[in-house]
A and B are shown apart, each in its own frame.
Chain A
Amino acid sequence: SQELEQSPQSLIVQEGKNLTINCTSSKTLYGLYWYKQKYGEGLIFLMMLQKGGEEKSHEKITAKLDEKKQQSSLHITASQPSHAGIYLCGAGSSGTYKYIFGTGTRLKVLA
């Protein structure tokens, strides 16, 4: 079965610093979703990547799917306290409407 491994597991950065979160799949990805979760809340959809090499941006967050479609990275530029939370990558499970989710990355941004 497919697994999604995220790294790092947790991250503490100073406000204004850039950071990158990675999501690595054990199998070829046919698309990837990125979500953000504030502590104790539900998941908020950030963006979806489908094609190898595709890159998308939303405000100061940029996500990319590599050419081989087995890894995605999420990059935050000039981090702010509002970026704090848990970031989760998700992928559709072949032949079903189900997702599998990554192991999660907990981000803390110090003011």
Chain B
Amino acid sequence: EADIYQTPRYLVIGTGKKITLECSQTMGHDKMYWYQQDPGMELHLIHYSYGVNSTEKGDLSSESTVSRIRTEHFPLTLESARPSHTSQYLCASSEGQGMKNIQYFGAGTRLSVL
């Protein structure tokens, strides 16, 4: 059972607000990821980190930013939310090499921007 937590689970906010989506894991995993999932089910990687003070942009361009100051914590921030940011955001973590690098996911945050 994966110990990775995302808060809040649901968030409805107005346009222009700054928001932070929290992601924490207690497994000591070095790698962490943020995905955006559209209603068509596909997952798109928007940010990832291979360790403390390491962050990279993913395959899908995103206006969000991330930080990795502590191993267990990987928050995602939107400085000014827009309706186009409405989506499901999933956080994951992993460790290990090659095929043993299994990603474990949090329950997700469903964001609605009005």
List residues of chain A with CB under 8 Å of any chain B CB. Answer: 30-31, 33, 35, 40-45, 48, 50, 86, 88, 90, 92, 97-99, 101, 103-104, 106
Contact = CB atoms under 8 A, between A and B. Distances in A.
A45 B102 contact: yes
Contact of A97 (B2, B101, B104): B101
B68 to A, nearest CB: 14
Interface residues of B, number: 28
Contacts of B110: 40
Contact of B107 (A35, A41, A98): A41
Nearest to A103: B42
Given A48-B99, A48-B102, 15 more contacts: A35-B105, A41-B108, A43-B92, A45-B104, A50-B99, A88-B41, A92-B101, A97-B31, A97-B101, A98-B45, A98-B48, A99-B45, A103-B40, A103-B41, A103-B42
Contacts of B101: 92, 97
Contacts of B94: 97
11 contacts: A30-B99, A31-B98, A41-B107, A42-B105, A42-B107, A42-B108, A43-B103, A48-B99, A50-B99, A90-B103, A97-B50
A40 B48 CA distance: 22
Contact of B42 (A45, A50, A99, A101): A101
Nearest to A30: B99
A35 B94 CA distance: 15
A98 B102 contact: no
Interface string B45-63: 1001010000000110000
Contacts of A99: 45, 103
A31 B99 CA distance: 6
B31 A86 contact: no
B92 to A, nearest CB: 8
B41 A86 contact: yes
A65 B92 CA distance: 24
A88 B105 contact: no
Nearest to A90: B103
